[in-house]
Amino acid sequence: MPDTRLHSMEIDTDKIKTLLELMVQHDVSRIEIAEGESRILLRRGHTPSVIAPAITPQPFALAPNPGPAAAPAAPTASSPVAEETFIRSPMVGTFYTAPDPESPAFVQSGEIVTPDRVVCLIEAMKVFNEIKAEVSGRITRVLVKNAQAVEYDQPLFAIVAT
């Protein structure tokens, strides 16, 4: 029996139905979707500890497509190279490291930040939006230059949990 847990009130039952059908169709054991405030986790079948004689990997992963020219391939959060994760842009806009050209940067590489710490500004539609770290950790790299355009979901800072 499928195990479906929903971590948000704003759910779309039609979408979940479609997803469940897709899971069955492609023998997918787990789908996790985060979308703004919503998070959906769907799981079916055996847990990975039970090894079945024939495992079908998700066909979605079998169709590599080099992705758009201008879009940097977003590193996956679960990258095994280090415990590095990313602070990502929640919007399209222009990235600013400091509140104004005269001030120092909000954060420097190497600094330890708390979730509420403002790490940068993103200007969109003439509005400067303060972006918070949302997680605790040490900033290891600043991935975007001051006044550079950023797109949705683009990694801004690399951060390692402390």
Partner 1 sequence: MFNRILVANRGEIALRVIRACRELGVEVVAVYSRADRDAAYLNLANDAVCIGAEAPAHSYLNAAAILSAAEITNVEAIHPGYGFLSENPTFAQMCRDCRIEFIGPSSDAMRKLGNKVEAKLLAKAARVPLVPGSDGVVADEDEAVAVAERIGYPVMIKASAGGGGRGMRTAHNEVSLRTNFRNARVEAENAFKDGSLYIEKLVERPRHVEVQLLGDRKGNLIHLFERDCSLQRRHQKLVEESPSPHIDRKTRDRLCTAAVRLAKAAGYYSAGTCEFIVDHENNFYFMEINARIQVEHPVTELVTGVDLVKWQIRIAAGESLSLKQTDVAHSGAAIECRINAESPDDGFRPCPGPVHDFIMPGGPGVRVDTHAHAGCTVSPYYDSMVAKLLVHRPTRADALVAMRRALGEFVIGPIRTTIPLHQTIFEHADFVRGDVDTGFIEREIMPGSRGASSGG
Residue 45 in the binding site for a second copy (CB under 8 A)? yes
Smallest distance from the beta carbon of 136 to partner 1, in angstroms?
24
29 binds, among a second copy, partner 1, none (CB under 5 to 8 A by kind): a second copy
101 binds, among partner 1, a second copy, none (CB under 5 to 8 A by kind): none
Q: Tell me the window of 55-63, 115-123, 124-132, 135-143 that interacts with a second copy (CB under 8 A).
A: 55-63
| Residues contributing to the site for partner 1 (CB under 8 A) | 15, 18-19, 21-22, 24-26, 33, 35-36, 59-60, 62-71, 74, 91-94, 124-125, 149-154
How would you class 46 by CB atoms within 10 Å of its CB: exposed for 0-12, middle for 13-18, buried for 19 or more? exposed
Return residues touching a second copy (CB under 8 A): 25-27, 29, 45-46, 48, 51, 53-57, 59, 62-63
